[in-house]
Amino acid sequence: MSDLPFLAHGETYRRLDQMRLAGRLPHALIFLGPEGVGKQLVARHLAKALLCEKESSAPCGACRSCQQAAAGQHPDLWSLEPDGGRIKIDAIRELKKSLSLPPLVSKVRAVLIAEAHALNAAAANALLKTLEEPPPATYFLLASHAAGWVPRTILSRCQKVRFSPLPDPALAEILRAQGKALDPRRLRLAQGSARLALLLSEAPEEWPNLERLGGDAEPLGLDEAYALGQSLNEAERLTPYLESLLLEAHRRLCAESSAERRFALLTFAERILEFRREMRQNANPKLHLPRLLMFFKEPLESRL
Ligand SMILES: [Zn+2]
C-alpha cells in the first residue's frame, strides 16, 4: 500500500497500530478533523490490519482477508454509508443482527462509519447501546469532519483521535502522484485538504475563488463576470469548480461561530446547489454563470 495517506499522519497510525498489537486498541474510536485530510484512509487501513491473518505485519495485502477487504467483499468489514444524506436506524438494526454472531472469516469484526455526523437521532440512539456494551471482537471506527454535528452521546463513548490539515508539501506530493499540480497560491487555498486541492487542480485557474466572490478584496465587476461566463466552453469544467466552492464554504461553515456568517455561507451554498441543478437541466452556463457570480457580490459582500 502507498505511504501517501500517511504523509502527515504516520505518527498517529503508528500509535494506533501499537495499541492494536498490544491488544489495547479501544473498541470505539472516532477520527476528527477537516474534510479531505485522510481520516477515512487511515481508518480503512487500520480496519484491514485488524482483520488481517498476519497479525504482526498487518495489513499484509496478500492473505485472504486482505484480498477480500481490498475487493470490498470482506464479510466482517462493515461500512455504514449515509442513505439520502442520513444514516438511518434500519442500517443499525441490520448491523446489530450480525453482531450477535461471531465474525465469519477473521478473528474480529470492524465497523466503519465514515460520516458519523450523518447518524440521525434514532440511529444514534440505537448505536449508543452497542457502543456502551460492545460485543466481543468488534471494533467501531467512526470519523467526522463536523464534530459539532455528531451526537454528544456518541462522541462521549468513543476515544477521540485528532487529524490536522495536511501541510502544503504533503498536498503537493499527493497531487504529483496523480499527475496534477497547483501553484503555491492556489495550494494554500486548499487549507490542508487533499480533496479540495484535487478539485482546485481541475477547476479553471482564471475563475474566482470563494474569497474573491464573497470577500472584500477586489470586487468582481459585471463585465468580468460576464467575460468569465462567456469563457466557459466545456460544462464539465464547471463541476469541479462548483464543488471546490461548496467544499470551501462547507469547511468554513464547520469552523464559523458567527450566526450572520453562517447564514451567509449557507445562502451561498444553497445558491450553488440551485445553480448546479439548473445546469443539469441543460441550462446554458454562458448565460447563467454571470448571474450566479454577480449574485454573490450582492448580499454577501464582506461577510464571508
Ligand atoms: Zn493480510
Instruction: Compute, in angstroms, the gap from residue 61 CA to the centroid of ligand 1.
Output: 5
pLDDT digits (tens, 9 = 90+) for 190-247: 888 898 888 888 776 666 666 666 554 455 566 666 666 666 555 566 777 777 778 8
Domain co-membership, 249 together with 142: no
Domain co-membership, 60 together with 124: yes
Q: Per the domain annotation, does 223 fall within a domain?
A: yes
Q: Per the domain annotation, does 178 fall within a domain?
A: no
Q: Per the domain annotation, does 96 fall within a domain?
A: yes
Q: Per the domain annotation, does 95 fall within a domain?
A: yes
Instruction: Compute, in angstroms, the gap from residue 109 CA to the centroid of ligand 1.
Output: 14
Instruction: Compute, in angstroms, the gap from residue 58 CA to the centroid of ligand 1.
Output: 6
Domain that holds residue 209: 203-297
* In the chain, % of residues over pLDDT 70: 79
Domain co-membership, 118 together with 219: no
Confidence at residue 282, expressed as pLDDT on a 0 to 100 scale? 66
Instruction: Compute, in angstroms, the gap from residue 46 CA to the centroid of ligand 1.
Output: 12
Q: Per the domain annotation, does 302 fall within a domain?
A: no
Q: Name the domain boundary from 144, 162, 180.
A: 162
pLDDT digits (tens, 9 = 90+) for 82-133: 988 899 999 999 999 999 899 999 999 999 999 999 999 999 999 999 999 9
Name the pLDDT band for 64 (thresholds 50, 70, 90): very high
Confidence at residue 294, expressed as pLDDT on a 0 to 100 scale? 61
Domain co-membership, 133 together with 211: no
Q: What's the CATH number where 22 sits? A: 3.40.50.300
Q: Per the domain annotation, does 15 fall within a domain?
A: yes
Q: Into how many domains does the chain fold?
A: 2
Domain co-membership, 145 together with 276: no
Domain co-membership, 44 together with 156: yes
Instruction: Compute, in angstroms, the gap from residue 228 CA to the centroid of ligand 1.
Output: 51
Instruction: Compute, in angstroms, the gap from residue 261 CA to the centroid of ligand 1.
Output: 48
Instruction: Compute, in angstroms, the gap from residue 59 CA to the centroid of ligand 1.
Output: 5
Confidence at residue 301, expressed as pLDDT on a 0 to 100 scale? 44
Instruction: Compute, in angstroms, the gap from residue 60 CA to the centroid of ligand 1.
Output: 4
Q: Per the domain annotation, does 213 fall within a domain?
A: yes
Please, which residues have CB within 8 angstroms of residue 18's CB and are 6 or more apart in sequence? none
Q: Per the domain annotation, does 174 fall within a domain?
A: no
Instruction: Compute, in angstroms, the gap from residue 127 CA to the centroid of ligand 1.
Output: 29
